[in-house]
A and B are shown apart, each in its own frame.
Chain A
Amino acid sequence: MDSPSRMKEAYAKAVAAKRRQVWLGLLVLAVAVLLAGRVAEISPSKFLDNIGSFTSYFYRIAHLESGQWVISDPVEWFWGWKKWLALMGETLLMAYVGTVLGACAALVLCFLASKNMTHNNWVVFATRRLLEFARTVPEIVFALIFVVAFSLGPLPGILALAIHTTGALGKLFAEVVENVDMKPVDGVLATGGTWLHKVRFAVLPQVASNFASYALLRFEINVRGAAVLGFVGAGGIGQTLLEVIRKFYYADVSALLVLIIGTVMVIDALTEQVRHRLLGQERGA
């Protein structure tokens, strides 16, 4: 057989093998989807029956009790704005306090979790597993448990946010610390500096702006998180949102959603500006 036709044959074989793999994958996926549909009690007929009520739900939350569009009477729409703004403020404050607590804990733990600063492998391993646990358990599960231990209110919510933040930031911080330039560390060590001197004068100046940027990013995420912690009684605006959704106060639902989304967008925009300036500073230095 001449070589072009052999090549053609090999090509056809390779394509066929690839096709077979794709079909096999699709078959497995199809079986999984059918099984999942059965387990999750999905029925297309139920969906089609209800899709109308979904659109009508949005129609309803866009209208006041009087039947007017919500936009036509903003005062009536945001009738509870004083109470709601106070709750939103509480939510932001929860996110702030939780982020600060978590960032402080992460700041301490990240040096123990990075191999270039801590030479005891057991300490590194244990700290990393601890951080992993703190960020794998969803914060709302922590909040559920803390609500039982600390009773209702913002305190359990803040602690839940703080623990989750410690886990998430601790990992990111440790990665930054492991990537620092070690020459300043050697320099401090050579002049007789202690471990704390190394951290303060050799590592922190290199990582501070990165840390601040990560902490701000986490603050954004925590604002979203704090807004729903009230669902389990852990303070903030979530409790009120849960009530108005469950009690079918349609116009209030949209008002609260607009308030939450608006606040989140403003916070995102502000922190993004600050973060750009922080990172720019680092590049300039």
Chain B
Amino acid sequence: MSTPLAQGHFVSGQTQQALRTRYPQHFQAVYQGRVRAILLALLAVLFFVYGVHSLEMSYKRIVGGLGELGSMVLRMIPPDAGSWPQAASFGYAMLETLAIALLGTLLAAIAAFPLGFLAARNTTINRVVKFFARRSFDTLRGIDILIWALIWINVVGLGPFAGVLALFMSDLGIFGKLFSEAIEAADQKPVEGVLSTGGSSVAAVRFGILPQLLPVLFSQVLYAFESNTRSASIIGIVGAGGIGLILAEQIRTLELQQMSFVILMILATVSVIDYACSRIRFSIIGVRAL
């Protein structure tokens, strides 16, 4: 591809020549930094090719699989629950999913609230406590929710309870981090004000920090609830309750029409929850706070 300027529609040849002699440096090809960029790109491409090769992504497999996928998609439509009782059982599983998301989020928020103060620079007891609180949150977040689900299944058995505890663990890590950051970002002046009128340190937190903090925390918890609705609908795949279990079974038994029904139900529920949460958020903290 040539540069638009090189096509030279608007600059006459003579002027261009004059410009060329006057500013030679602007008409040289730019090599600086380009060689390194090209080498990096080449390396990236080579690595990609190596990956494609070593992960057995052969052309034949992809084309064959795409054909199979196409016929699967055709067999998915129209989405059909089978019968009304079956649709009702899917609905109940969806309700279970929402229940898992609600309880997991809420329990994690309640537990993370005091822990967040321990991990915040301005309210922690000492630096060692802060360090360990933060590293624990990092570890909790570092383990995927599906792994937590598997571990809790070993402890409390199959079922939604394991799912609630799995969400609780990974949310505790997220909330701990977010809450402590919100506490650190809180304005210290109201605290000084309360202390200067003779208030205790508890009063300083209650009237100085909490009013600033609550709307922020509330909106974070609502966001987490939204994303947990998605997570709760997949943890059933490993046996931790909710709609995921049904989804995994339907795929294994190739009940494709029912499967597409369930997927649509999940997508619809998630978007309803997203909408409801954003309405609640606006009504409580106002549009300006966002």
Contacting pair A36 B7 (CB below 8 A): no
Which residues of B in the span 1-60 have a Cβ within 8 Å of any Cβ on A? 1, 3-5, 7, 9-10, 44, 47-48, 50-52, 54-57
Contacting pair B151 A146 (CB below 8 A): no
Q: How far is the CB of B90 from chain A (nearest CB, A)?
A: 14
* Cα of A49 to Cα of B36 in the assembled complex, Å: 61
**B176 close to A (CB within 8 Å):** no
Q: Decide yes or no: A97 and B65 within 8 Å by CB, A36-B98, A141-B234, A196-B1 being known contacts.
A: no
Choose among B96, B139, B142, B150 the residue that contacts A40 (Cβ–Cβ < 8 A): B96
* Cα of A201 to Cα of B267 in the assembled complex, Å: 39
Contacting pair B95 A136 (CB below 8 A): no
Q: Decide yes or no: A50 and B9 within 8 Å by CB, A141-B234, A146-B69, A264-B142 being known contacts.
A: no
Chain B contact residues, majority secondary structure: helix
Contacting pair A96 B51 (CB below 8 A): yes
User: Nearest A residue to B96 by beta-carbon distance?
Assistant: A39
Contacting pair B47 A257 (CB below 8 A): no
User: Nearest B residue to A190 by beta-carbon distance?
Assistant: B10
* Cα of A90 to Cα of B51 in the assembled complex, Å: 9
* Cα of A224 to Cα of B9 in the assembled complex, Å: 52
Choose among A50, A154, A228 the residue that contacts B156 (Cβ–Cβ < 8 A): A50
Looking at the complex, which of B81-89, B116-124, B246-254 is the stretch in contact with chain A? B246-254
Chain A residues with CB under 8 Å of B102's CB are 32-33, 36
Contacting pair B1 A200 (CB below 8 A): yes
Q: Decide yes or no: A246 and B103 within 8 Å by CB, A140-B237, A150-B65 being known contacts.
A: no
Q: How far is the CB of A285 from chain B (nearest CB, A)?
A: 11
Which residues of A in the span 129-148 have a Cβ within 8 Å of any Cβ on B? 136-138, 140-141, 144-146, 148
Contacting pair A39 B160 (CB below 8 A): yes
Chain B residues with CB under 8 Å of A100's CB are 44, 48
User: Nearest B residue to A229 by beta-carbon distance?
Assistant: B146
Contacting pair A50 B150 (CB below 8 A): no
Question: Which range contains the number of A residues in contact with the other chain?
Answer: 35 or more
User: Nearest A residue to B92 by beta-carbon distance?
Assistant: A39
Contacting pair A144 B247 (CB below 8 A): yes
* Cα of A100 to Cα of B263 in the assembled complex, Å: 27
Chain B residues with CB under 8 Å of A196's CB are 1
**A46 close to B (CB within 8 Å):** yes
User: Nearest A residue to B139 by beta-carbon distance?
Assistant: A261
* Cα of A160 to Cα of B2 in the assembled complex, Å: 37
* Cα of A40 to Cα of B158 in the assembled complex, Å: 12
* Cα of A37 to Cα of B57 in the assembled complex, Å: 46
Choose among A41, A137, A149, A231 the residue that contacts B237 (Cβ–Cβ < 8 A): A231
Q: How far is the CB of B105 from chain A (nearest CB, A)?
A: 10
Q: How far is the CB of A208 from chain B (nearest CB, A)?
A: 10
Contacting pair B251 A261 (CB below 8 A): no
Tally chain B residues at the interface, Cβ within 8 Å.
65
Contacting pair A141 B263 (CB below 8 A): yes
* Cα of A145 to Cα of B248 in the assembled complex, Å: 9
Chain A residues with CB under 8 Å of B156's CB are 46-47, 50, 53-54
**B164 close to A (CB within 8 Å):** yes
Mask of A22-64 contacts with B, CB within 8 angstroms, 1/0: 0000000100110111011111001100100110010000000
Which residues of B in the span 132-159 have a Cβ within 8 Å of any Cβ on A? 139, 142-144, 146-147, 150-152, 154-156, 159
**B99 close to A (CB within 8 Å):** yes
Q: How far is the CB of A41 from chain B (nearest CB, A)?
A: 6
Chain B residues with CB under 8 Å of A39's CB are 92, 95-96, 99, 160
**B62 close to A (CB within 8 Å):** yes
**A241 close to B (CB within 8 Å):** yes
Mask of A253-272 contacts with B, CB within 8 angstroms, 1/0: 10001001100110000000
Q: Decide yes or no: A149 and B69 within 8 Å by CB, A40-B161, A53-B155, A155-B61 being known contacts.
A: yes
14 A-B residue pairs with CB within 8 Å: A36-B99, A40-B96, A40-B241, A41-B159, A57-B154, A57-B155, A100-B48, A149-B65, A191-B4, A191-B7, A197-B1, A228-B144, A232-B248, A261-B143
Chain B residues within CB distance 8 Å of chain A: 1, 3-5, 7, 9-10, 44, 47-48, 50-52, 54-57, 61-62, 64-66, 68-69, 72, 92, 95-96, 98-100, 102-103, 106, 139, 142-144, 146-147, 150-152, 154-156, 159-161, 163-164, 230, 233-234, 237-238, 241, 247-248, 251, 254, 263, 267, 270-271
The 7 A-B residue pairs with the shortest CB-CB distance in the complex, in nearest-first order: A150-B65, A36-B99, A193-B4, A149-B69, A40-B160, A39-B99, A97-B51
Chain A residues within CB distance 8 Å of chain B: 29, 32-33, 35-37, 39-43, 46-47, 50, 53-54, 57, 90, 93-94, 96-97, 100, 136-138, 140-141, 144-146, 148-151, 153-156, 158, 188, 191-193, 196-197, 200-201, 224, 227-228, 231-232, 235, 241-242, 245-246, 248, 253, 257, 260-261, 264-265
